[in-house]
Chains A and B, each alone.
Chain A
Amino acid sequence: MDEILPAKQVAAAAPVAGKSLGQSAWERLRKNKLALGGGLLILLLSIVCFSAPVLSKVVGHSYQEQNLALGPVAPNADHWLGTDRLGRDLFVRLLYGGRISLMVGLSATFVSLTIGVFYGAISGFLGGTVDRVMMRIVDIMYALPFTIFVILLMVFFGRNIVLLFVAIGAVEWLTMARIVRGQVLSLKQQEFIDAARILGARKRSIIFRHMIPNLLGPVIVYATLTIPGVMLLEAFLSFLGLGVQPPASSWGLLIKEGAEVMEEYPWLLAFPGSALAITLFCLNFLGDGLRDALDVRGSK
């Protein structure tokens, strides 16, 4: 991009005539079978998990019903995914766990995404002293001891699910903000932003209409990568006492539990692990599709 102003980018800077950005993006997304499939699978998974109470009645097991004498058994006709060490049905526990993990994973990621993108975009766009102060705040947040932060949250606010989002959001947005800021800094120098500026666009509209859509590639990728991290982080927070209280569980906790017995009872790790992996894969395909669909420059 050394000297010549690419025609496509000018076109992108100006409001798109006819179809709105959203409409055309949707059309492109619809053509991407992989992305669509991923999205549908996630939707299906969520529906299945959120109807856990109904399904548990169908299966005939509840997530807390124990059978100590039975103990851990491999998958069979009665227990489709086997049972855990207290003889509880893994399938039902996985569904209930999925409710919590999907909710935490998606919403905490969304929170950190929102904060990170806006924080980073504002910091990078405004530059100067504001940028410096904002980035030093990020440095400070990185350094504070997370374990103690979480313990204090619980001491002062008691245990509740909102705190879980606060705690996770507090750490996950930082790297996001730095990535976004880095992108904004270089985008700022690109010609189509100058063009927009010359055309008289206001700062706010430059940030929201031109910068943020152009950031989406790395942001979407990073966000989809954050989700499994968040789900596993939730298991750590449960260790500290925040989050899920037994006998309820989550995918993160089930994976942690399963990892301890992966040689003896491999199914206890394999199924929760697969659930997490499937979710991540779907989200990645969906994310890639979204990125392509929203990438105004990449489209021909």
Chain B
Amino acid sequence: MTRPTKTEQQKILIESITRSFAMSFLVLFVLLLGISGCTKRETRVAVGNREQTFHIGNGGEPSDLDPHTAIGEIEHDIMLALFEGLVNGDPKTVDPIPGVAERWDISDDGLIYTFHLRKNARWSNGDPLTAHDFYNSYQRALMPSLGNQYSYMLFPVKNAEEFNTGKISDFSQVGFKVLDDHTLRIILQSPTPYFLSLIIHNSWYPVHLPTVEKFGKIDDRNNRWTRPQNFVGNGPFVLKEWKVNSHILAEKSSTYWDAAKVKLNKIYFYPTESSDTEERMFRAGQIHTTRECPQPKIQVYKATKPHLIETYPLLSTYYYRINVTRPPLNDKRVRQALTMAIDRKAIVENITRGGQIPAYNLTPPGTGGYNCEAAFSENIDKARKLLAEAGFPDGKNFPKFELLFNTLESHRAIAEAIQQMWMKNLNVEVTLRNEEWKVYLDSTHRMDYFITRAGWGGDYADPNTFLDLMMTGGGNNETGWSNLEYDRLIKAAGATRDQKQRFAAFQKAEAILLDEVPIIPIYFYTRSRLIQPSVKGYYGNLLDQHSFQSVYLEPEPEAR
């Protein structure tokens, strides 16, 4: 018996293995070719333009579409298509315009609002939409057992807070009155000049209670009435499909009172968690518009394809909180020095690069017509002097302290820049500490920090949504800062209907805030989004709220 040599063995091996692999490779290749095909396909956007189907990158998977439990922008933007409140936001300016209510009367003292509802308003199942629906919906929105996080949006209404916190249990004492099927009266606790802009918010949307009841208790968060097969709404569109992490499809509602004017037939919302993915989808012609543009690409688009990108300011402020209970940050002079030694212009021009506006105060310009007059200055010499006065000449002996931020590339870049600025300008060394989101929230809440990043977006177009933030013990203050005069001014502003007086009080209050600097404003946010020129009537605005009633798709002839 001859023994095969090593090479012979190997030859056999090679042959048999390559043979079997060659076969399977061939099969796979043919399969691939068959699947992919080679024809040039029409993009989803092009088809959409023809069929009035709007494809939106919506930034993430909505947690729910129940207007009384959902929070967050992602959910809000979809609910804008599915529901309609008494009052709508103007598509361009978000100023209050008639919604389900075709008109309203306001009493002279500003406390009583009477809404006259459209007689042709209907639910998507054909039921008429009446004042009772609103009444019952508001009762549900305020039921303590529902745990509506945005219930405070209804608190200007008389006794609403008492009912929501369980101090009273009789809803008839709350300031909602049904005068007849088409007339609803709302009585306020105190005159709230921004009341109409408040009720644009989704927490003021009506829900179809018979449907809610059909699928569980009305105060059960886990109620399944928002599933597509169960859903009943009153908006211009109806929920048709909802596949988690894939898409949401809303179709034009035939029962909407103004259906004749709605031009879109379908809207697809895609849960694009990553803005890079979203941008690639946009480039591939899969979506008409994105929620945002990846930061490094903003400049590229602006330079090469300016017709595809738009940038607009938002009602949001990026700032740092200072823990005023920790020395040396309990010294106002130290806080002022840190605030003055940051070059905000360098940050917005070189790091964020999305047209953000350097912030020298808290309330974004043009918030409900209010523009803050007070401001601190960026002044390194003065900052050094203040630091010296506080006992740290040239940063000597300045204790170790930390800057906390939640992990995100953009926050890190800003923190690194500010770390350098403080080092260079004040000779003060801050270490950086990044934490995962929920850990960061926990640390902030427990005041386990020196300085921490924060951001605040206004809920409605009025300075109150920013300035009541810093009231003593406010849930989102979280700096330990307390100033009784400040509290008094904010409360005084809330008690009057005279805009001039209110704004004067706000001005004074914000001046106190900017002198004490428990927070370091850095910039006012902007939104940069990619959008096909074929999309019409879908405007960017301060509240980043885009209603769908007047949107339509019209490709420009030369664009394709």
Contact = CB atoms under 8 A, between A and B. Distances in A.
A and B touch in their complex, CB below 8 angstroms: yes
Contacts of B431: 245
B515 interface: no
Interface stretch (B178-186, B195-203, B305-313, B415-423): B415-423
B435 interface: yes
A47 interface: no
A78 interface: no
B296 interface: yes
22 contacts: A64-B420, A66-B417, A68-B350, A68-B351, A69-B346, A71-B350, A85-B296, A85-B413, A86-B351, A86-B417, A151-B439, A154-B439, A240-B407, A240-B435, A241-B434, A241-B439, A245-B434, A246-B412, A246-B415, A247-B416, A247-B432, A260-B294
A247 B434 CA distance: 11
B14 interface: no
Interface string A60-77: 000011101101000000
B351 A260 contact: no
Interface in B390-448: 407, 409, 412-413, 415-417, 419-420, 431-436, 439
B434 A66 contact: no
B401 to A, nearest CB: 14
Which of A68, A154, A247, A257 has its CB near the most chain B CB atoms (within 10 A)? A68
B407 A241 contact: yes
B interface: dominant SS: helix
A68 B351 CA distance: 8
Contacts of B276: 260
Nearest to A85: B413
Contacts of B350: 68-69, 71, 86-87
A80 interface: no
Contacts of B417: 66, 68, 86
Contacts of A66: 416-417, 420
Interface string B471-496: 00000000000000000000000000
A292 to B, nearest CB: 16
B297 interface: yes
Interface string B98-127: 000000000000000000000000000000
Contacts of B415: 246
Interface in A48-99: 64-66, 68-69, 71, 85-87
Interface string A245-275: 1110000000001001101110000000000
Nearest to B276: A260
B436 A241 contact: yes
Interface string B273-302: 000100000000000000000101100100
Contact of B300 (A155, A247, A257, A264): A264
Nearest to A88: B416
Nearest to A147: B436
Interface residues of A, number: 27
Given A68-B351, A86-B417, A151-B439, A260 B434 contact: no
Q: Which of B276, B350, B419, B431 has the most CB of A within 10 A?
A: B350
A154 B440 CA distance: 13
A239 interface: yes
A38 to B, nearest CB: 26
A80 to B, nearest CB: 22
A69 B417 CA distance: 12
A245 B412 CA distance: 10
B295 to A, nearest CB: 8
Contacts of B419: 247
Nearest to A245: B432
B242 to A, nearest CB: 27
Contacts of A151: 436, 439
A246 B420 contact: no
Main DSSP-derived SS at the A contact region: loop
Interface in A128-180: 147, 151, 154-155, 159
B48 to A, nearest CB: 26
Contacts of B346: 68-69
A168 B479 CA distance: 36
A86 B435 contact: no
B396 to A, nearest CB: 21
Nearest to B432: A246
Given A66-B416, A69-B350, A241-B407, A260 B439 contact: no
A295 to B, nearest CB: 16
A246 B296 CA distance: 20
Nearest to B404: A241
A265 B294 CA distance: 14
A238 B413 CA distance: 15
A-B CB proximity, top 8 nearest: A68-B350, A261-B296, A241-B435, A68-B346, A264-B296, A246-B432, A240-B436, A239-B407
B433 A245 contact: yes
Contacts of B294: 260
Nearest to B431: A245
Contacts of B416: 64, 66, 86, 246-247
Nearest to B434: A241
Instruction: Name which of A66, A69, A71, A261 has the most chain B CB atoms within 10 A of its CB.
Output: A66
Contacts of A264: 296-297, 300
Interface string B240-279: 0000000000000000000000000000000000001000
Nearest to A243: B434
A257 B416 CA distance: 14
Contacts of B347: 68
A238 to B, nearest CB: 8
Contacts of A159: 433
Contacts of B412: 246
Contacts of A257: 409
Interface string A231-247: 00000001111000111
Contact of A86 (B296, B413, B432, B434): B413
A18 to B, nearest CB: 27
Given A238-B434, A260-B296, 12 more contacts: A68-B347, A69-B350, A71-B350, A86-B351, A239-B434, A240-B407, A245-B432, A246-B415, A247-B432, A257-B409, A261-B296, A263-B297
Interface string B453-467: 000000000000000
A241 B296 CA distance: 24
Contacts of A239: 407, 434, 436
Given A260-B276, A260-B409, A241 B433 contact: yes
A245 B347 CA distance: 21
A42 B8 CA distance: 38
B276 to A, nearest CB: 7
Nearest to B343: A68
B157 to A, nearest CB: 41
A86 B413 CA distance: 7
A223 B234 CA distance: 61
B378 to A, nearest CB: 15
Contacts of B300: 264
Contact of A246 (B297, B351, B434, B435): B434
B32 to A, nearest CB: 26
A66 B420 CA distance: 8
A179 to B, nearest CB: 23
Nearest to A72: B296
